[in-house]
Amino acid sequence: MTRPLEFTILATHNLARASIMRLPHGEVKTPVYMPVGTKGAMKGVTYQEMDDLGCKLLLANTYHLAYKPGGDLLEKIGGLHNFVNWKNNILTDSGGFQMVSMSKLTEVTEEGVTFESPYDRSTMHLRPEDSIHTQNQIGADIIMALDDVVRTATTGPRMQEASERTTRWLDRDIAAHKRKHDQNLFPIVQGGVDPKLREQSLNDLIQREANGYAIGGLAGGENKVDFWKTVVQCTTKLPTNKPRYLMGVGYPVDIVVCSCLGVDMFDCVFSTRTARFGTAFTDHGFLKLRNNQIANVFEPIQKGCQCQACKYFTQSYLHYLISREEVACHIISIHNLNYLIQLMLNLHQSIIDGKLNEFVNGFLKTWYKREGKIPQWVIDALEYAKLPIEQL
């Protein structure tokens, strides 16, 4: 590779695109869902199983890896790929999200963030330079700029401060990045759901050349109309020849709609977190395997699914296991991860085949069949993407 990232658009359907993203550890078809292995490991799923599922790109978190096993150890062994024996690509978050998820334990200043460890009460000072240094040690294929993250619903001076500080920190991120030849630094567009702040952030970040861009600050409880309009504001402004990553979004309907709006990459813990509570993804929506009526259903989670869970186990058996054995979470996690990976591969192929409209309508009709109605925000977003939706 002449660069650490090459992005080739194979086909488009209005805003949606099917592409190949070439990274140091192999090719990734986009749109793509990235499973989240926060601490360098998937909860309840091995790396071999992830490879068997066809996962080509997964996410790990700099904040947690910096605590344990630590950047120095990972650098010594040659990076996270070698440490966990993973041959495919890795993206690392910067630690910025922990400003929200651990807000009671953080203090943010212009210099950086001070965290109180949830593990041993020790203090971590995380500056942009520190985040990038640790990510250089981890050796991920894509690394994220440290951004000033606030809750989506935040308004007024604090949101403006966070958005503008994100740009200032980006300049420090870029200056600290020592592995430009084999690691891709993605800036993160901020600004909440304020169109003016988003526009300013977009303008600032586009001026700073990058191999790809992320859209941050969403999936935090905002109104769905604000959500999709903010997404499309970003995708229509960001460079067409660079991948676009919507952070923290992994609900099946959301990733289908946002793929149609021009997003290329997604991540979320939702698939494995719901699995631990006994909920499986299906074409007909969510299947709650704890429900008592499942005890007499001797069918797989989803007919036709080729994952190991559906090949070998019935809903009845999983219902029996879910409150008794941890292996049930493992089995359901494999199914949910497979569901999202295959959903994106099928959407990718539908764009290439010129059948995206057919694919999306089929997906929505099945997903919302029980409710009997497709939400208006979904219809409006897809109309903007020039994909006419047939109501149920």
Tokens of 155: 């308004």
Interior angle at CA 112, CA 212 and CA 116, nearest 5: 115
Options 148, 194, 204, 267, the catalytic residue: 267
139 is in an annotated binding site: no
Residue 268 assigned as binding residue: no
Question: Is 200 annotated among the ligand-binding residues?
Answer: no
Q: Is 70 annotated as a binding residue?
A: no
CA–CA separation, 241 and 6 (whole Å): 9
Catalytic choice (52, 93, 141, 283): 93
Q: Is 285 annotated among the ligand-binding residues?
A: no
3-state secondary structure of 1: coil
Token representation of residue 289: 């395997």
285 contacts 364 by C-beta, under 8 angstroms: no
User: Was 94 annotated as part of a binding site?
Assistant: yes
State yes or no: 217 annotated in a binding site. yes
Q: Among this protein's residues, is 267 annotated catalytic?
A: yes
Q: Is 117 assigned a ligand-binding role in the annotation?
A: no
Q: What does the block give as tokens for 327?
A: 């292996």
Dihedral of CA 53/54/59/60: which sign? positive
Question: Is 258 annotated as contributing to ligand binding?
Answer: no
DSSP annotation string for 77-125:
HTSHHHHHT--SEEEEE-STTHHHHTGGGEEE-SS-EEEE-TTTS-EEE
Pairing between β-strand 213-215 and β-strand 244-246 as defined by DSSP bridges:
parallel
- For the CA atoms of 24, 181, 134, 60, the dihedral, rounded to the nearest 10 degrees, stands at -20
147 marked among binding-site residues: yes
* Token pair belonging to 120: 């041993």
305 assigned binding-site residue: yes
72 is in an annotated binding site: no
Distances (CA, A) of 179 to 1, 133, 138, 199, 242: 15, 10, 11, 30, 19
226 is catalytic: no
In the annotated binding site, the residues are 93-97, 147, 190, 217, 305, 307, 310, 335
Catalytic residues: 93, 267
In the annotated binding site for Zn(2+), the residues are 305, 307, 310, 335
In the annotated binding site for substrate, the residues are 93-97, 147, 190, 217
